[in-house]
Amino acid sequence: MKSFDDELNDAIQKALHDSFENFERKPGASIDQKIYEALDKPARVRPLLLSAAAVLLLLLGFGVKEMSERYASLRAITRSRATNEELKESANVVPLHGNIVVSAEQPSHTRHSASANPAKPNVRRPLRTVTPAKPASTLHEHAKPVPYKVKAGAGPVLPDENNTLPVMETEHALPVQIQDNAVAYRAIDANEIATGCLVPLLVDLAMPEISFDANPEDSTLQEPESRPVREKLDFPRYQPSDKKSFAWIFNLSATNTFQSIYLLPNAESRILKVSFPVSTANLGYKLSAGFQTLGLQWLFHYSHLSWKAEYIYAIDEFKADEQGANRYVFERLGKAETVTSKVELAGVGVKKQFDFKGKRSGRFFAQIGADYSRQLQSSGRHFLTGSISAGKVFTVNKTTDFIIGPYFEYNFNKVPTAEYSIKVRPNQVGLSLGLRMNRTK
């Protein structure tokens, strides 16, 4: 038989066991934070990510270098004049008046043989007037062919006072120069030289006559159309993307985190003030890589974000300011504590890029996108963000574009902080750099 003590012990044991068997108390966010930080390993930049970042930086550097060299060579070409020797080798053309004579859009009866790369018609400025050229037979009737020879290495040949060409000597037989006052030529476009679109002038030309009739019958001279204001201002026009095109996309965004704060009601909260100081601790970056197809960009990304917050916690001390007779205003004093938060995210995203092009202003882009990310650290939070970006597009080469412009990212999630009564929405603003390498099939 049990004693009274034993019965009492059993009763108390049962009562306390039933009361505390499932007794739980959730720790505060600050304790969770400390535990998570103690459990997290030091951030290791994974070799694959490091390699990808290095490759991206190399591509960016290569692209910038290539672009600058391209620009420098283009300027050199536009400034320089092709030498006689180069043109003779490539086109076998006799320079007249120091200018290069090239024919394009010749009348059908004009015979000329092209080089390996025949030029495409690319007349920037039409002739002032054009009258149909006379048939060769007609010309030969009226013209007086003047045979000539050219010395190798001879300089520009200038007509004498009689407007006839002097006799020159060369080992090559040049086409018969038709003595005619009508000379048609046009200035060489630098792009033609750069792209190798020269047409060698080899045989006799039937030069169309140039007249300055006010109302020629078949005049191609047209009054310049009154261009709309939009065109005059060179407003960039939307260039729809080819949905069948395929391109590799690489992007690096340097970002600064700015936050919006949400205070949850909590009777036990002792926070007097929250502020977000301007600091390099708010800087981060985002690496993206993927491809563009079906008019959209499909990307994988990695983000390293950080932000800093300062909390003023109330302490049990007050300051009393006297205001008037026997009137005091009490102010509770606080203690400041700074918290730096770091987040590593990885995820996927989709973007839509809109390309614009102006005649003189160049190419521009605008982007809108959405990303889904997951935190790589212990808590494994999910993030959903929307982003916009816009800026300038530079052509690196015929398959590669470089883009640069401001970047803004809005976070749809609120992130809990060390204080469980406070949540923040970390948004990003920064600069976006990217490469688009077209691989259209």
**Segment near another protein (CB under 8 A); pick from 18-26, 56-64, 136-144, 332-340:** 18-26
24 touches another protein by CB under 8 A: yes
Is the C-alpha dihedral spanning 237, 241, 247, 249 positive or negative? positive
> Cα angle at 438 between 434 and 441, to 5 degrees?
155
Distance of closest approach, residue 267 Cβ to another protein, in angstroms: 15
**Sole binder of another protein in the list 2, 25, 124, 172 (CB under 8 A):** 25
- Closer of 26 and 327 to another protein (Cβ): 26
- Closer of 106 and 417 to another protein (Cβ): 417
38 touches another protein by CB under 8 A: yes
* 186, two tokens: 């046009």
Taking Cα atoms as reference points, which of 139, 88, 83, 85 lies closest to residue 109? 139
Interaction mask 62-101, another protein, x per CB under 8 A: ----------------------------------------
- Closer of 2 and 172 to another protein (Cβ): 2
Cα–Cα distances in angstroms (integers) from residue 327 to residues 317, 320, 330, in the given order: 19, 10, 10
Distance CA 385, CA 236 (A): 29
Helix, strand, or coil (residue 112): coil
Considering only residues 322 to 351 of the shown chain, the ones binding another protein according to CB under 8 A are 346
Distance of closest approach, residue 326 Cβ to another protein, in angstroms: 35
First to last CA, the chain: 94
* 368, two tokens: 């809108």
379 touches another protein by CB under 8 A: yes
* 308, two tokens: 């800093």
**Segment near another protein (CB under 8 A); pick from 22-30, 141-149, 362-370, 389-397:** 22-30
16 touches another protein by CB under 8 A: yes
Q: Which single residue is written with the structure tokens 């007794």?
A: 23
Binding-site size, another protein (CB under 8 A): 34
Distance of closest approach, residue 43 Cβ to another protein, in angstroms: 11
Distance CA 306, CA 311 (A): 17
19 touches another protein by CB under 8 A: yes
* 287, two tokens: 């690496």
Distance of closest approach, residue 52 Cβ to another protein, in angstroms: 16
Distance of closest approach, residue 11 Cβ to another protein, in angstroms: 4
Cα–Cα distances in angstroms (integers) from residue 304 to residues 47, 52, 93, 144, 283, in the given order: 15, 15, 62, 81, 9
Interaction mask 380-419, another protein, x per CB under 8 A: x---------------------------------------
Sequence-separated (6 or more) residues with CB below 8 Å from residue 368: 351, 352, 386, 387, 388
377 touches another protein by CB under 8 A: yes
- Closer of 218 and 268 to another protein (Cβ): 268
**Sole binder of another protein in the list 1, 2, 3, 23 (CB under 8 A):** 23
CA 151 centroid distance within chain: 52
Distance CA 394, CA 140 (A): 53
Which residues bind to another protein, rule: CB under 8 A?
4-5, 8-9, 11-13, 15-17, 19-21, 23-27, 31-32, 34-36, 38-41, 346, 374, 376-380
